[in-house]
Amino acid sequence: MKNLMTVSGLLAVILHGVTLANTAGEWRTVSRDRLCVTEGTIEKAAGDRMSVKVPKMRAYVNQWTSQSAELRFTYLGGTSEQLALGSGAVRRQVGLKLHALDACNLVYAMWRIEPEQKLVVSVKRNPNAHASAECGNRGYENIKPQRHSALPHLQPGQSHTLRAEMKNSELRVFADGNEVWEGDVGTDAANFNGPIGIRSDNARLEFTLQAGQYEGVHPMFELACKAGAGEE
């Protein structure tokens, strides 16, 4: 019996190691040519890193992935020019887009930096609109979390990670590996048939983006890049 328990314990350790290895292997770095930039500019930086220096940047991954994304970024401070959002507010922030069907229907997980540091998850719903000119900044709903915790304080020159994982309508968001938000964004948002992406406002960044592999039967297609369809 003791030998059986020892073997079972070793098997559990081995299987746990395999599970961790498989999980880590599911993540793939998104190269610059896999990002469709709909507003602003993303430049190549050293290694596989990219940089943003413009006050408004919107992009999505033009290859199908799972609805899991991780942004590893170095925050370099504000941009020289500051632009207001469609609401008129001036905000400095960086975040991830999930189920980004189009400019009017998608899910955001945003790390707000200025004027207040906090993690905000919102859904933009406009079922009868699909271009920014049609919906503008209408249709936003901030989602209340079931559980949340404070973000690390972000200072210029610091490096952090922001990861979002969405399965069905359940969303979990992590900062530097620690869960900071968990909740349900609604079944309608989960049914937005769109890719992952990134967004920044008035923030200079260097970053890499990773995406989870598509689960199940891969549709084997690339998404057409439609520039100029950025969100307000």
Is 112 among the domain residues?
yes
Residue with structure tokens 């049609």? 134
Q: Is residue 9 part of a domain?
A: no
Q: What angle do CA 225, 231, 232 make, to 5 degrees?
A: 160
Domain-embedded: residue 224: no
In a domain, 69, yes or no: yes
Contact status, residue 22 vs residue 47, Cβ threshold 8 Å: no
Specify if 7 maps to a domain: no
Nearest of 171, 116, 174 to residue 145 by alpha carbon: 171
Per-residue pLDDT of the chain (232 residues; tens, 9 = 90+): 444 434 344 444 333 333 333 333 489 999 999 999 999 999 999 988 999 999 999 999 999 999 999 999 999 999 999 999 988 899 999 999 999 999 999 999 999 999 999 999 999 999 999 998 999 999 999 999 999 999 999 999 999 999 999 999 999 999 999 999 999 999 999 999 999 999 999 999 999 999 998 876 666 667 888 776 566 6
Do residues 108 and 122 make contact, with C-beta atoms less than 8 angstroms apart? yes
Residue ranges making up the domain that contains 177 = 30-212
Could you tell me if 75 and 203 are in contact, meaning their C-beta atoms sit under 8 angstroms apart? yes
Under a CB-based contact definition with an 8 Å cutoff, are residues 229 and 132 in contact? Answer: yes
DSSP string, 128-195: T--SHHHHTT-SEEEPPPSEE-PPPPP-TT-EEEEEEEEETTEEEEEETTEEEEEEE--HHHHT----
Report how far Cα 205 is from the mean position of its chain's Cα atoms: 15
What is each CA distance from 187 to 99, 120, 190, in whole angstroms? 12, 19, 5
Domain harbouring 170, CATH code: 2.60.120.560
- Is residue 217, in this structure, part of any structural domain at all? no
Quick check: is 18 in a domain? no
Query: What pTM, to 2 d.p., does this model score?
Result: 0.85
Answer for the pair 182, 148: CB distance below 8 angstroms, yes or no: yes
Alpha-carbon torsion, ordered 213, 216, 217, 222, to 10 deg: -30
Whether residue 145 lies inside any domain: the answer is: yes
Domain count, the chain: 1
